[in-house]
Structure 1
Amino acid sequence: MWGISYWAVPIFSSLVWLAMLIAMLTTWSVQGSPHYPSMDPNQRIAYISDVGAQGLKPLFIAMSAVTVVSLDLAFVLERWLRHKGKLTPNTSFWQKFYSVCSIIASIAGAAGLILLSIFDTLRHPHLHDGFLVLFIGGYIISAIFICWEYQRLGIHFREHSILRYSFWIKLTFILVELALAIAFGVTQNQKKYNAAAVLEWTISFIFFFYVLSFFIDFMPAVRSKHHQSRETEMDMAEQGGMPMGDGAANDGQYFRGNTNGHANGTNGYANANGHTNGHANGYTNGNGYTNGNGYTNGFSNGASGPGHIPKPADSAPLPSRNF
């Protein structure tokens, strides 16, 4: 059950973000692309913040918070899985340091998004712009540290191609989002608000794919969980097929855990009360094989172990020497 929830966290987070964007864009379009009070007089395309500052503000706040909180939970969960060895473990202090830095930066980015949704662009334009920078910058810095960690992990675990794929996906996100963020800032300063609005929507949709990409990172943990569960089921079936005991019915009776049985059987042969005393008493004391301390005692001791060795047939009696 927990194996499924590993990758469900980033998928859930990305779908919430996508649903919010679609709901806001659809609402603005269905309303006839209105010109909101927060928009510039020459602006025809609304920013996400313009739509969020109107009637959809509760939706904007709630879904933004759910998205970034669940995404940051994915960062923390990934760190925990690496610590537990369910994902490829960190091999140095610096890898752990990069991971912790990415979590801290993502928390800063999450705070930026939640605060910019609360302090909307209509009533708090300067605070809103500052928190927007914190949001975009926080997650770009977080992605940089993640790439740094994955690059070092990929050197030590070259056999895990998934680390390479994840590294390139996140590096692509960094380069594209950084370029778009710079272009957004330039067009905003040049008062090209329509172009800036298009860039903002583009940045937001690319962020959806970035969040979604984290489910790839959890796939090894899911496969590991399934593999361990399968092995456990096979062991239980193997042991449950017949009662486990010390007798010959045990699986692998002569090779697994039954050394004592054969050792005891061997002791039955090697016991001084066995063949040695039996023959000695038989020939020396004149009691022959009627002496109970002969073969009988020897094989009785051997049979005491879990690996019971059957008593061999008695030898033919020797001719009597009493006449």
Structure 2
Amino acid sequence: MAVRGVISYWWLPIFPACVWLGMLLGMLLWWFVTVDMDRSRLPSLDRNMYLPYISDIGAFTLKPLFIAGSVVTTVTFDLSFAAERWLRHKGRLVPNQTLLEKVLVILTILFAVVGTVGLICLSIFDTYRHPQLHDIFLLLFIGGYLISAIFICWEYQRLGIQHREHRVLRASFWVKLIFIFLEIGLAVAFGVLTFTDRKNIAAYFEWIISLIFTFYVLSFVIDLWPARRTKHRAMRFPKPRSPREMEESEASLPGRAHGANTNGHF
């Protein structure tokens, strides 16, 4: 019973964050310990680069690790999006009130799936054997999750206005907004450095972008944390009323049903 009290939905984003960070650190360790002195193991590596791209390491000996880490990270991370939507629908979290908010949720999940497909495919179509496909899927990965973050920020901004008493919504909004600006700035710098053939510096930016993604995944702990208090039905949020229910409720108010007779006879 004690274990049941500890395990909750907020654990969902912790697992993919640990998998992603562990994969990155494992690849870095493999580079420094094994390959740094024997660069022939990475045929795609530029001779002037002190640090390889992640995709250089993931194109050869550690390709199985790169594929497995990418698949596990993104698929389990997407469960956090699905859980957040389900918990709002069930009243375990602050529910979505308007049609726009529900559309924003759908777009958030949709573009997260695009990012998922991008990362899985770029790990399979490596930069050494499929350079053009790899670059396309890299754009899908970065663009998919960035656009997804924009939509979820928009959703949280609207929820935060309607529910100012729940400061966790505001905290999550600002964390994700900082992520968006950081990643856009770093992604632009990475692209410029890569296409101007300053790959040695660009590689450092790629690693920084990937490490920051870990903290974005962890930010969903903030979103799912309040659900631990709403396990019992009595503690859950009431479901938002439909427009029809609101009209019926207003019509049943005293003075509304007989409004024609309140100001005199006609």
TM-score (norm 2): 0.83
In structure 1, the residue matched to 2:239 is: none
Residue 196 of structure 2 is aligned to residue 190 of structure 1: yes
| Aligned match for 1:173, one of 146, 169, 179 | 179
The one-letter amino acid paired with 1:209 is F
Are 1:83 and 1:90, in contact at CA under 8 Å, matched by a contact in 2?
Answer: yes
Residue 17 of structure 2 is aligned to residue 11 of structure 1: no
In structure 1, the residue matched to 2:33 is: 30
In structure 1, the residue matched to 2:244 is: none
In structure 2, the residue matched to 1:120 is: 126
Residue 152 of structure 2 is aligned to residue 146 of structure 1: yes
Give 1:54 deviation, angstroms. Answer: 1.4
In structure 2, the residue matched to 1:212 is: 218
3-state DSSP of counterpart to 1:16:
helix
Give 1:144 deviation, angstroms. Answer: 0.1
Q: Structure 1: which 4+ aligned runs deviate by more than 4 Å?
A: none
| Aligned match for 2:208, one of 202, 205, 211 | 202
Q: Which runs of 5 or more structure 2 residues have no equivalent in the other structure? A: 236-266
Distance, in Å, in 2 between the alignment partners of 1:70 and 1:123 is: 28
Distance, in Å, in 2 between the alignment partners of 1:69 and 1:129 is: 21
The one-letter amino acid paired with 1:73 is L
In structure 2, the residue matched to 1:73 is: 79
3-state DSSP of counterpart to 2:177:
helix
Distance, in Å, in 2 between the alignment partners of 1:229 and 1:85 is: 9
3-state DSSP of counterpart to 1:31:
helix
Listed one character per residue, the Cα deviations across residues 218-242 of structure 1 (whole Å, up to 9, x for unaligned) are 11111222xx3999xxxxxxxxxxx
Alignment of structure 1 residues 300-319 onto 2, 5 Å? none
Task: Between the two structures, name the one with larger relative contact order (CA 8 Å, sep ≥ 6).
Answer: 2
Q: Which runs of 5 or more structure 1 residues have no equivalent in the other structure? A: 232-323
How many residues are matched?
229
Are 1:3 and 1:221, in contact at CA under 8 Å, matched by a contact in 2?
Answer: no
Residue 55 of structure 2 is aligned to residue 49 of structure 1: yes
Distance, in Å, in 2 between the alignment partners of 1:104 and 1:41 is: 40
| Aligned match for 1:136, one of 137, 142, 161 | 142
Distance, in Å, in 2 between the alignment partners of 1:108 and 1:229 is: 35
In structure 1, the residue matched to 2:69 is: 63
Decide which moves more: 27-36 or 95-104. 27-36
Distance, in Å, in 2 between the alignment partners of 1:53 and 1:78 is: 34
CA RMSD of aligned residues (A): 1.6
Q: Percent identity?
A: 58
In structure 2, the residue matched to 1:20 is: 23
Listed one character per residue, the Cα deviations across residues 7-52 of structure 1 (whole Å, up to 9, x for unaligned) are 1110001000000001000000101524321122332310100111
TM-score (norm 1): 0.69
Give 1:194 deviation, angstroms. Answer: 0.9
Alignment of structure 1 residues 95-106 onto 2, 5 Å? 95-106=101-112
Decide which moves more: 146-155 or 34-43. 34-43
In structure 1, the residue matched to 2:238 is: none
Distance, in Å, in 2 between the alignment partners of 1:70 and 1:89 is: 23
Are 1:57 and 1:117, in contact at CA under 8 Å, matched by a contact in 2?
Answer: yes
| Aligned match for 1:223, one of 221, 229, 244 | 229
Bigger Cα Rg: 1
Distance, in Å, in 2 between the alignment partners of 1:71 and 1:4 is: 17
